Structure 1
Amino acid sequence: MTAATWFILIGTLLLVVGFTFSYFKRVPATSAILYLMIGFIFGPMGFGLFHFNSLEESALLEFLTEIAVLISLYCAGVKMPAPVTIKRWQNPLQLAVVSMAITVGLVTLFGYYWLALPLGAAVLLGAVVAPTDPVLATEVQVRHADDPDHLRFALTCEAGMNDGSAFPFVMLGLGLLGLHDLGDAGWRWLAVDVFWASGAGIGIGILAGYGVGWLVNKIRTTFLDTAFLESFLGLGLIALAYGVSLLVDAWGFLAVFSAAVALRHTELKLAGLKQEYSERIETRQDDEPKAIAHVHVSESSLVFNEHLERLAEIVLVLLIGGSLFWDSWSWRAAGFAAFLFFVARPISVHLGLLGSRAPMRMRHLVGWFGVRGIGSLYYLMYAIQHGLPEDIALELIHLTLVVVALSIVVHGVSVKPTIARYWRSRKPR
């Protein structure tokens, strides 16, 4: 495809999305399915006007997916309720740490024994597909920081945290393949990749978010007529937290999510506001924010960043559709996707939430809505850029693209009807 054709395709798609936004809110499907179908139609499965080679363009795809995930993590973080309490965050923490580790273990066993992958490649595959996606899971994410729904909160918070907590397993897989230093008996991996990188990422994010929130409040109260470009402040916070994390070998995804959470918490605290958690049963989904007070940077920057997030989703899902051929849909890949969706995810969620007070119905829904997407592509491209052998890279690309495409379709078709039934069941009789 020529540059002119690409501009026409993207422009037409953006116009369609813009004109049909309210329509897609009513139909039982997500907009990501539309982007994927257009990729199929114009890609190798359809007219063959373009083919995106994920292996040859792995550097570009790593950059694009990295930006998309960072923006999505920020959007998820500023919608998290404040203050952060152990009681409220217990379930997401269990999902992001325990359930994700169990998923990696189950996928590793499946990859090693059924797919006949090398142990390191099986671990890497588990790390790639274990995290749930913050980009494509918009239908099951919290709508705003005052959203009282525990299901959406758990899924959003899990997606925000496990995009960072998966990184140690990526490095473990690379280490078992001889592409990363694990140290004697894995001591370096445990000390540096697990404890230091995770703890430092969270710490950097908290400091950055608090610093920006404090500085905005200080300037605003000292100079009453000061105006800010809140969207730029939000992007600046993302870049600052991520850049510092890269500098000290910390997990930047955790830093960005933590920074966004800390920013909202700091703005509320310094403004003398307290967020009330409503435990009442809602009778409908409310797409509009019901903020108790205007929190300047976190709320004002959210709209702009959500538009960037949607634009990134369009481009990347279109490329996914243009990466697949008809023979990509092998029984091997489809069987792996079925194992992940129907076995690994539900088992890991139920085991991870043992001992919690989460209702069984909520556990079933969390076990189903483990959307895989852009984050998985980023981890895989990251591994390829760190020397993953070509034969293993091609096999993992094949498996991951099919998993992501099927997740977009299967979860996209089922999310709205399932969530609607869930809300109807919670209406007061």
Structure 2
Amino acid sequence: MSFAGWSAVIGAVLLSLVLLGTLIGRLPLSSAMLYLGIGWLLGPTVLGVLTPDPVRHAALLETVAEIALLISLFAVGLQLGVPLGDRRWWLPLRLAVISMACMVALVACVGVVALGLPLGAAILLGGILAPTDPVLASGVQSESGVRPDRLGFSLAGEGGLNDGAAFPFVLLGLALLARPSAGPPLHWWTVELLWSPLLGTVLGGALGAAMGRLVVYLRARHREAVGLDVFLGLGLIALSYGLAQLCNASGFLAVFASGLALQRVSEKPIAHSPPLGAAEEVEGHSYETLATHSHHASATMRDSVQLFNGQLEKLAELALVVGVGAMLAYAAPLPAVWWFVPLLIVVLRPVSVLPAIVGERLSLRQAALLGWFGIRGIGSIYYLVFALHHGLESRIADVLVTLTLWTVAISIVVHGLSAQPLMRRYLVRRD
């Protein structure tokens, strides 16, 4: 298709979403479900406008999915305002480590026993499907502030952490496929599993905190570095990811940590300087006045970065989920889909959550919702095309493509339909 044709299609889709936005908001549907349907219509099955073959175009799709994942991780980090020393972080951390490792092991067992996959491919499938998505489950997003609801905060925190924590298991699966007789190499234990996540988190957190404090100091004390908050968010994403990768650290965890650190930057007001007034009065001041006032510089910076990054996140979600809908045409007719996907969503996810919530004093309702809302999305698509780009045997590639695409698609639909009613009932009973 020509550039003019692509321009017309993209413009029509974006303007239709704007015009129908209010109507869509009244329906019990998530935006991701709509994007998935658009992708299916534009894909080879119907119109044939989009033909994103995940095997042939693995390199391009890997880049697109990687960018979308980085944007979403930074956005989630910006939304989580709970202090790092708060005990509320303990549950998402356990979910991202213990629950994810259990999910990899459970999926690997199913892959070897029921699907007949070699061990490396089974672990690779587990690594691809283990991470949850904090963005697509918009109906269970965490409330803002330092004391959000524990359920929403835990699900968002888990999604932000385990997208990076799943990477070592994907690499392990690829290594075992290359050398089936070898066990996990020493490099994997020391670098990929331990050093990379730790260094990425520390590096990203340090960059986010340092850059945020520097910008706030320059604005509040010297009225410099004002504006271009768009570049601040994009620059932090690029710098933290790039430096982490150069240091052989986890770029995904670095970006997530940089968003967390930027969210926590605060400025000590200049002594004896008065605030601008009550919240409703603050809104009447210009951006430059707020951005350079010592009482409001940090909050103005965070809000501005978060506003732009939130819009960018919506575009990234649209692009990738539309791509998933179009890629469904390339899924092989594998009968195992009809039992594997329900098994993963209804059985394996809740079972994997159980070891992580022991001793957390959750209500039965909270535990059940944590087990249910394990939506799969951008992270799984990225790890799938990452593995395809590194080369897989055709039979293994067909199994991984089919099971991953249908798991993500069905997860988007069933979790999208159930998010609003289940969370509405939960919040009413909680209040």
Task: Sort the Cα spacing of 1:189 and 1:216 in 2 relative to 1 into closer, same or farther, 3 A.
Answer: same
Paired position in structure 1 for 2:62: 62
Distance of 1:404 and 1:22 partners within structure 2: 26
Paired position in structure 2 for 1:280: none
Task: Sort the Cα spacing of 1:26 and 1:186 in 2 relative to 1 into closer, same or farther, 3 A.
Answer: same
Please give the secondary structure, in 2, of the residue aligned with 1:212. helix
Please give the secondary structure, in 1, of the residue aligned with 2:27. coil
Whether contact under 8 Å (2:77, 2:160) holds in the other structure is: yes
1:157 shift after superposition? 0.6
Distance of 1:225 and 1:238 partners within structure 2: 22
Task: Sort the Cα spacing of 1:150 and 1:251 in 2 relative to 1 into closer, same or farther, 3 A.
Answer: same
Distance of 2:267 and 2:85 partners within structure 1: 14
1:234 shift after superposition? 0.9
Task: State yes or no: 1:337 paired with 2:341.
Answer: yes
Counterparts of 1:159-174 in structure 2, within 5 Å, are 159-174=159-174
1:374 shift after superposition? 1.2
Paired position in structure 2 for 1:410: 414
Distance of 1:359 and 1:369 partners within structure 2: 16
Paired position in structure 2 for 1:277: none
Task: State yes or no: 1:242 paired with 2:246.
Answer: no
Task: State yes or no: 1:15 paired with 2:15.
Answer: yes
Distance of 1:86 and 1:167 partners within structure 2: 27
Whether contact under 8 Å (1:95, 1:349) holds in the other structure is: yes
1:180 shift after superposition? 11
Distance of 2:169 and 2:29 partners within structure 1: 33
Task: Sort the Cα spacing of 1:249 and 1:120 in 2 relative to 1 into closer, same or farther, 3 A.
Answer: same
Paired position in structure 2 for 1:389: 393
1:359 shift after superposition? 2.0
Distance of 1:256 and 1:152 partners within structure 2: 21
Say which is worse superposed, 398-407 or 213-222, in terms of deviation: 213-222
Please give the secondary structure, in 2, of the residue aligned with 1:133. coil
Say which is worse superposed, 398-407 or 386-395, in terms of deviation: 386-395
Paired position in structure 1 for 2:199: 200
Counterparts of 1:18-417 in structure 2, within 5 Å, are 18-146=18-146, 148-178=148-178, 186-224=185-223, 226-265=225-264, 267-268=265-266, 270=268, 295-325=299-329, 328=332, 330-417=334-421
Q: Structure 1: which 5+ residue stretches go unaligned? A: 273-291
Distance of 2:355 and 2:232 partners within structure 1: 40
Distance of 2:205 and 2:384 partners within structure 1: 28
Q: How many equivalent pairs are there? A: 406
Distance of 1:364 and 1:231 partners within structure 2: 39
Distance of 1:246 and 1:16 partners within structure 2: 39
Task: Sort the Cα spacing of 1:327 and 1:308 in 2 relative to 1 into closer, same or farther, 3 A.
Answer: closer
Letter in 2 for 1:110: V
Whether contact under 8 Å (1:196, 1:250) holds in the other structure is: yes
Letter in 2 for 1:335: W
TM-score by length of 2: 0.89
TM-score by length of 1: 0.89
1:324 shift after superposition? 1.8
Whether contact under 8 Å (1:128, 1:376) holds in the other structure is: yes
Letter in 1 for 2:305: S
Whether contact under 8 Å (1:75, 1:302) holds in the other structure is: yes
Please give the secondary structure, in 1, of the residue aligned with 2:327. coil
User: What's the CA shift string for 1:318-365, capped at 9, x where partnerless?
Assistant: 121111239746431232111110111011112211111222211111
Whether contact under 8 Å (1:91, 1:358) holds in the other structure is: no
Letter in 2 for 1:251: S
Whether contact under 8 Å (2:93, 2:158) holds in the other structure is: yes
1:147 shift after superposition? 6.2
Say which is worse superposed, 105-114 or 86-95, in terms of deviation: 86-95
Whether contact under 8 Å (1:217, 1:270) holds in the other structure is: no
1:297 shift after superposition? 2.8
Task: Sort the Cα spacing of 1:270 and 1:188 in 2 relative to 1 into closer, same or farther, 3 A.
Answer: farther
RMSD of aligned Cα (Å): 2.3
Letter in 2 for 1:34: L
Distance of 1:231 and 1:143 partners within structure 2: 24
Task: Sort the Cα spacing of 1:185 and 1:26 in 2 relative to 1 into closer, same or farther, 3 A.
Answer: closer
Letter in 2 for 1:398: T
Q: Which runs of 4+ in 1 moved over 6 A?
A: 179-182
1:268 shift after superposition? 2.6
Q: Structure 2: which 5+ residue stretches go unaligned? A: 271-294
1:136 shift after superposition? 1.5
1:186 shift after superposition? 3.0
Whether contact under 8 Å (1:234, 1:298) holds in the other structure is: no
Q: Larger Cα Rg: Structure 1 or Structure 2? A: 2
Task: Sort the Cα spacing of 1:185 and 1:138 in 2 relative to 1 into closer, same or farther, 3 A.
Answer: closer
Distance of 2:44 and 2:323 partners within structure 1: 11
Letter in 1 for 2:10: I
Please give the secondary structure, in 2, of the residue aligned with 1:322. helix
Identity of aligned residues (%): 43
Whether contact under 8 Å (2:334, 2:402) holds in the other structure is: no
Task: State yes or no: 1:423 paired with 2:431.
Answer: no
Distance of 1:252 and 1:76 partners within structure 2: 15
Please give the secondary structure, in 2, of the residue aligned with 1:295. helix
Distance of 1:164 and 1:271 partners within structure 2: 36
